[in-house]
Amino acid sequence: MTKKTFDLEFKGYWRERDGRGLPAYSGVFVVQSYYHDHTRGTVTMKALIYVGKADNIHERVKSHEKRSLWKRKLKPGEGICYSCTPVKKEDQERVTAALIYAHQPLANRVYKDAFPFDTTRVNLRGDYFPLEEKVVVEKN
């Protein structure tokens, strides 16, 4: 393996109740908590709960075995929302590992303590809160 850079754009947010609109493309998705203030009509993004990969994001999120774990990570009044980005299948594991290692999501276990790939740079744009705009991770 060699050093590699990924330029990714996270497109949109889907609240759990709207998850049926998630795209069916292959890529990486993030699960985040949010708080909806009904009186003000505002949504505030909170914590990064999970980073995952899928050949079909819509189907994977819809039937994900960790959904109940994600919900247990919520604080009172919070909900779950998703954001995603297309990533080639052969790069999904590396991108997911870099995001997990750099951001330490609440519900991920694998890649939190070790990054087995060569130096990886991930440049993000779009709707990706609470991820950092630029991530650089080195093999350890």
Phi/psi at 48 (5° precision): -80, 120
Give buried/exposed letters for 110-126 (b at 16+ CB in 10 A, else e).
ebeeebebeebebebee
Cα separation, 104 vs 90, whole angstroms = 23
pLDDT of 14: 86
Strands (DSSP E) found in 55-117: 78-86
Q: What is the pLDDT of residues 87-101, one digit of tens each?
A: 999 999 999 999 999
Tens-place pLDDT, residues 78-87: 999 999 999 9
For the stretch 33-46, pLDDT in tens is 999 888 998 888 89
User: Is the pLDDT assigned to residue 17 strictly greater than 80?
Assistant: no
pTM, two decimals, is: 0.92
Q: What is the pLDDT of residue 29?
A: 95
